Amino acid sequence: MTTTNIPSFLSDAHNLDHTTLSSKFHTIEIEEVERCRRANDAKNEFSVSVALRDDSMKFNRYSDILPFNYNRVKLIKRRPNKTDYINASYIEGPDKITQYIATQGPTEKTIDDFWLMVWEQNSYVIVMLTKEQEKGYTKCVKYWPEEVKQSMLFGDTCLRIELESEELVPNATCVVRTIKIEKLENSQVIELRKITQLHFVGWPDHGVPDSPDTILNLVNKTNEIQRQYIVDIVNSQVPPGKVGPIIVHCSAGCGRTGTFCTVDTALAMLPNFKDDNTDLISSLVGHFRTQRRTMVQTLTQFQYCYLAVLSKLVTNR
C-alpha cells in the first residue's frame, strides 16, 4: 500500500505511535483543566454557572459534565417548575461544516425536556450511542415508547410521541426507529413530524467499538438520513421548513458523542484538507473540547478516531 492521498498525520508512523498520541491527548487534557479552573465564574468565557444552579443541577445526569453558558441549548417554551435549562450544547465543526447538538442521555426528570428540545430545534435525526443499562448502571432511560404503535403524552409540552417502526441494521450495529411527534392544541393535532433515531448498541462506555467499520457505517447512515430529510422538508414547504442539527447523545454526552462528531467532521473536511502537517484529529478534538467538556473522553477513543478515519481512506482507495 502506498501513502498517496493519505494525509501525513495518518501516514506518518511516528504520529500514530502510542507515545505520540498519548502526548497529544495529554496536552488536550491539560488545556481543559485550565478552562475548568474558573468554571463557576459567570464572567468566564467557559463558565458553566447556569448548569451549577440549584434549579439546574437536579436535571444533570452527572455533576461534572455540564454545558458551557455560551453555547448551551435553551428551551423556549415556559412551563411550571422548569427553567430554560437542559444539559445540551450546540456543537459546530470548523466553518460550520458540521453541526450537532450534544446532550446527555435523558433521565426520568428530563424526558419531556428532551422531546421539547427535539421539537424546538427542528431536529429530525437522533443518534443514541449507549445502551440503557451497562454493567448494572442506568446510562439512559427509555425515552421512546416500549412497543410499536404505543405512545407517550407530555402534557406540559403538548407533545405526543409514538413509535411507528423499528428495525435492526446489521452492518451498522444499530436499531433504526421511526418516531412520530404530534403537537397538540386543545387535544387536537396541529402539527406532525416523523423523526429517526439510530440506536447504536455496540459501543461500551469509555471504550470503542470492535471495528471501525461499524462506526463508519453508522456515520454514513446518519448523514444519508439527514440529507434525505433536508430534501423532503425543503421540497414539502410545510412547517418548520428547515432541518435542525443532528442530536447526538451517549450517557454523559461527551466521550462516545465526541468520538462520533470527530470522525464525522474529519471525514467531511478531508476532501478539501490541505496537508500542511496539521493533525486534523487532534485539532478537532481540541476544537470540540472548547464547546463541551471531555468530548472524546479517553485515550482509547482518541486513538480510535485515527483508526476509523484511516480505515475509511484506505477502504475507499
- Annotated catalytic sites, by residue? 250
CA–CA dist 11, 106 (Å, integer): 40
CA–CA dist 117, 123 (Å, integer): 8
CA-closest candidate to residue 172, choices 123, 233, 217? 217
CA–CA dist 172, 176 (Å, integer): 10
CA–CA dist 257, 295 (Å, integer): 7
- Three cell numbers, residue 71: 453555547
CA–CA dist 287, 244 (Å, integer): 21
Where do runs of H (alpha helix) occur along 186-245? 212-236
CA–CA dist 181, 124 (Å, integer): 10
Contact between 203 and 256 (Cβ < 8 Å): yes
Q: Which residues contact 113 (CB under 8 A, 6 or more apart)?
A: 59, 75, 82, 86, 106
Residues shown for the chain: 317
Give the CA count within 13 Å in the CB-facing half-sphere of 86.
31
CA-closest candidate to residue 193, choices 237, 233, 246? 233
Cα 311 to chain centroid, rounded? 22
Q: What DSSP element (H or E) covers 284? A: helix 280-289
CA–CA dist 103, 157 (Å, integer): 19
Q: What DSSP element (H or E) covers 40? A: none
Contact between 309 and 266 (Cβ < 8 Å): yes
